[in-house]
Structure 1
Amino acid sequence: MTYLNCMADLWLFDSLNETEKGDIRKLFHRPEYLKGEYLFNEGEPASSIFLVTQGRVKLLKTSEGGKEIALGYITPNQLFGEEVLFDDSVHSFAAVAVEDTRLCACYKSDFESLLAQNSQLSLKVIKGLGEKIRRITEQFADVAIYDTRSSLSRTLVRLAREHGQETADGMKLNFRLTHDDLGALVGSSRVMITNVMKSLKIAGIVRDDLDHKMVISRWFLNEPFIEEPASPAARSADCDCYQR
């Protein structure tokens, strides 16, 4: 998950100077959503990129049987939907505010108009896109390397660090996840997730709390192979994205 202090810090704009980033910032608008309100539904045309500045958003998908599956949670300083800038697509999932939420958003149409007016800016953006494609190729190679147990372990640690609450022996997720939810997060079947979860509990890596929320053991959180997520800088509120 991408962590940003301002949408102008998106990887796509890394090569831009401050004046050019200022032009990007002028495109932003700041919608607000109440708890339970949908930002968009699955199947709707994708038209915006979003940065959460306050609150929390749940990404979910509906199965053929009508069951909602949680794909993940977006919290402040996290970005989602950036693929819309390069693809005329529809949303493959829905997004709903799980608490009152404020966003910084940019319409695809506004972004395209700016690029059409500035050829040098367009070239810099294309260069940034090429670098991103290279990194994505490397990430696909990583997916091929890790088995389900490793992928699930790494996912649980990241969830704990992003959305966890300190306990005496580890980090407790502040929401419940079913085995179907976990399978969706790591691209595996519910049966496989069930078997892997049994082995993780036997190994003392994961346990269920009294309210059936998972606790990730402290010793495992300190394993060196788990990457720390990028931490937002303390002065993120100074950015225009975070101003009303």
Structure 2
Amino acid sequence: MTYLNCMADMWLFESLEEREKGEIRKLFRRSEYLKDEYLFIEGEPANSVFIVTKGRVKLIKTSEYGKEIVLGYLTANQLFGEEVLFDDSLRTFGAVAEEDSRLCSCYKSDFEGFLTQNSQLSLKVIKTLGDKIRRITEQLADVAIYDTRSSLCRTLARLATEHGQETLDGMKLNFRLTHDDLGALVGASRVMVTNVMKSLKLAGIVKVDFDHKLVVSKWFLSEPLSKETLPIKGHTASCDCFQRTQ
């Protein structure tokens, strides 16, 4: 998962001088979304890339039977929507604000000019999309291959790695998740998740902190099943795009 302080720090622009980055900052749009407001829906034309600067965004997909499938959550400093860099594609998933959120966006037409002027950018696009495909493949494999307990363990480990804050007991998620939320992430019922969570708490794998946020234990995260490199998170206060008036 890519964490950025500002859209201008995106890998697409890393070869530019600071003066040039200052120029492209003028292209960015700043938007605020209320809780439950859609950023975009599945099936509509993809025309912009987003970075979350405040709040939380849920990525969703609807099955052919109308069931909502949760692909994941994004929080501050996370970039998404890179698939817009290809042809005139449609959104393959929807995005909705889980809470009042602020985002910075850049439109496809603005990207195209930079892509045509720097061939190295194309290679970086391929790498980023390759990483995204790997993560989605892992999540789909969790649902299709592993039982509910294993799938939930792997999902909690991934969430703790991507969205956790280190505490004495382990990695604490920076947002709350209900059993319904967890069930949507692993494709299981709320009752099944509740039963599995009881066993995970007894095993010392997870605990619920005083503010009702999950904490995944350090010893569990050190196991090969869930070991990943922790991302380095930035500080949204440094985003120059939001220092300017709209």
So what's the TM-score if we normalise by structure 2? 0.72
Tell me what 2:114 maps to.
Answer: 115
Tell me, yes or no, if the aligned pair for 2:59 and 2:94 is still in contact at 8 Å: yes
Match status 1:2 vs 2:2: yes
Q: 1:130 to 1:204 in 2, by over 3 A?
A: same
User: For residue 115 of structure 1, what is the amino acid of its counterpart?
Assistant: F
Q: 1:228 to 1:176 in 2, by over 3 A?
A: farther
Q: 1:108 to 1:219 in 2, by over 3 A?
A: same
Q: 1:190 to 1:141 in 2, by over 3 A?
A: closer
Match status 1:182 vs 2:185: yes
CA–CA distance in structure 2, aligned partners of residues 239 and 38 of structure 1? 23
Deviation at 1:150, TM superposition (A): 7.4
Deviation at 1:134, TM superposition (A): 7.2
CA–CA distance in structure 2, aligned partners of residues 150 and 175 of structure 1? 18
Q: 1:15 to 1:62 in 2, by over 3 A?
A: same
Deviation at 1:37, TM superposition (A): 0.9
So what's the TM-score if we normalise by structure 1? 0.72
Unaligned runs of 5+ in 1: 184-188
Identity %: 58
User: For residue 129 of structure 1, what is the amino acid of its counterpart?
Assistant: V
Tell me what 1:226 maps to.
Answer: 227
Residue aligned with 1:64, SS: coil
Q: 1:202 to 1:232 in 2, by over 3 A?
A: closer
User: For residue 228 of structure 1, what is the amino acid of its counterpart?
Assistant: T
1:128 pairs with one of 100, 104, 124: 124
CA–CA distance in structure 2, aligned partners of residues 64 and 163 of structure 1? 30
Match status 1:157 vs 2:157: yes
Tell me what 1:186 maps to.
Answer: none
Unaligned runs of 5+ in 2: none
Q: Tell me whether 52-61 or 125-134 shows the greater mean CA deviation.
A: 125-134
CA–CA distance in structure 1, aligned partners of residues 88 and 135 of structure 2? 24
CA–CA distance in structure 1, aligned partners of residues 41 and 127 of structure 2? 31
Residue aligned with 2:29, SS: coil
CA–CA distance in structure 2, aligned partners of residues 41 and 115 of structure 1? 27
How many equivalent pairs are there? 233
Report the aligned-residue RMSD: 4.0
Q: Tell me whether 64-73 or 222-231 shows the greater mean CA deviation.
A: 222-231
